[in-house]
Amino acid sequence: MKASEFRAKDVAALEKEVSDLLKAHFGLRMQKATQQLTNHSQLGNTRRDIARAKTILAQKKKAAK
Distance (Å, whole) CA 22 – CA 27: 9
pLDDT at 43 (0 to 100): 96
The structure's pTM equals 0.91
Distance (Å, whole) CA 57 – CA 36: 32
**Cβ contacts of 8 within 8 Å, gap of 6 or more:** none
pLDDT at 64 (0 to 100): 87
For residue 52, the domain's CATH number is 1.10.287
Please give the residue range of the domain that contains residue 45: 3-64
Please choose, from the candidates 51, 57, 47, 58, the residue with its C-alpha nearest in 3D space to the C-alpha of residue 24.
47
pLDDT at 8 (0 to 100): 94
Number of domains in the chain: 1
pLDDT at 1 (0 to 100): 82
CB 62 within 8 A of CB 30: no
Ordered per-residue pLDDT tens for the chain, 65 residues: 889 999 999 999 999 999 999 999 999 999 999 999 999 999 999 999 999 999 999 999 999 88
